[in-house]
Amino acid sequence: MINIAVVGTGYIGPVHIECLSRISGVKVVAVVDANLELARKTAARYNIEKTLEDYRDVLKDPDIHVIHNCTPNKYHYGITKEAMEKGKHVLSEKPLAMNQEEARELVEIAKKNKIVTGIDFCYRYYPVVQEMAVRIRRGELGDVRMASGSYFQDWLSKETDFSWRLQRSESGESNITADLGSHWFDLVQFATGLKVAEVIGDFASLVPVRKKPKRQVVAFEDVKETATENFKAELEDYSAVLFRLSNGAPGSFTTSQACAGRKSDTEFQVYGSTCSYAWNHKHSTELWIGYRDKPNEVLIENPVLQDASTAKYAPLPAGHPTGYYEAVMHLFQDYYDALNGNDRSAVARPTFETGYEEMKIVDAVVASNKKRQWVSV
């Protein structure tokens, strides 16, 4: 049995626990949070044995083998570094660190200590996204000519909405580019097999002054009546990026958390010399395939019609859709298979090297926004 400690019990920590409960051979034996009351509620909900306030207590425990780092950005580097130096394997939330220098160091420590790493870029684990990546690598798209897309949400569209991600001390030099942008650029790099080579970014704060609660608020919490204070925006809630892929193909990406009515609206499109592919999170079971000289197609998630290497991510009969939890669960399954020496990923699973690549993109976009010019990744 592989024993796990989940550090951080806000929004994403319970998602990890829920998905881990569906994987054989692993068990969450401890949850850790500086907010001990929140940790206790999570432990009670999932029947977890230990509730701790200090993450160092689980790092000292020889019976705990893996740490899931589900804390805010500013804690990713320190906790992950200490865990790996204690010989713990680590699966981290994204972004991997506050900047690429921290991320590079974590990659080096992992290699030195032979740590199996993972990072939660879960959207690549929707079955038809895996299928898109396999088809592009088989050459069915032809040459990648262009990529474009967006990621819109509305949970920060009101001045009364607040998140720790808006604070530089908690999030680093970026809010939404590091948060939603890292997911989107992972999708594009994963699907195309290409790297983002150059960027020019433009940031804006669409809600320049917010009402910050005087108490701790969990991500996506519906805050009703609570004492607040004015908070002047430190980080962007809108980001637009033009980019060039490593083969020279151009692309564009726009994201914002202030788009009323858009809950988690992710879309990315890849246009090639032979055909085109598009995927939208709202219709996550569908892969759109566009042609010039014949009718377009829609491949609905189907283990019978997909490549054998991607069918395992769609284990149910066609018409029974895979959801967000299943995408996260399949990422975790690949991680623990790799930990047991059996890598089952169809194309490639996300590791700390993936997180480092994403941090290089984020840092380049941040630098570009400041310089108002193109920046190499």
pLDDT tens track for 196-241: 999 999 999 999 999 999 877 666 666 666 789 999 999 999 999 9
- Topology classification of domain 123-376: Dihydrodipicolinate Reductase; domain 2 (3.30.360)
Looking at residue 220, its pLDDT comes to 62
pLDDT of residue 195: 98
Which helix (H) or strand (E) covers residue 225, if one does?
A: none
pLDDT for the residue numbered 333: 96
* Whether pLDDT at 344 is above 80: no
What one-character-per-residue DSSP string does 305-351 give?
TS-HHHHTT--SPTTS---HHHHHHHHHHHHHHHHTT----SS----
- pLDDT score at 221: 66
Rounded to two decimals, the pTM is 0.94
Distances from the Cα of 246 to the Cα of 163, 186, 297, 376, angstroms:
34, 14, 28, 11
Torsion angle in degrees (nearest 10) through CA of 81, 78, 100, 91: 60
Cβ atoms within 10 Å, residue 300: 15
- On whether the CB atoms of residues 285 and 301 are closer than 8 A, the answer is yes
Beta strands (DSSP E) in 143-285 are 144-152, 196-204, 209-213, 228-232, 238-245, 250-256, 265-272, 276-280
Exposure letters 281-298 (e unless 16+ CB within 10 A, then b)? beebbbbbbeeeeeeeee
CATH 3.30.360.10 segments of the chain: 123-376
Q: Does domain 2-119 have CATH number 3.40.50.720?
A: yes
The overall average pLDDT reported for the chain is 96
Q: Encode pLDDT of 12-23 as tens digits.
A: 999 999 999 999
For the record, the structure tokens of 246 come out as: 């490593």
Residue spans in the chain of domains classed CATH 3.40.50.720? 2-119
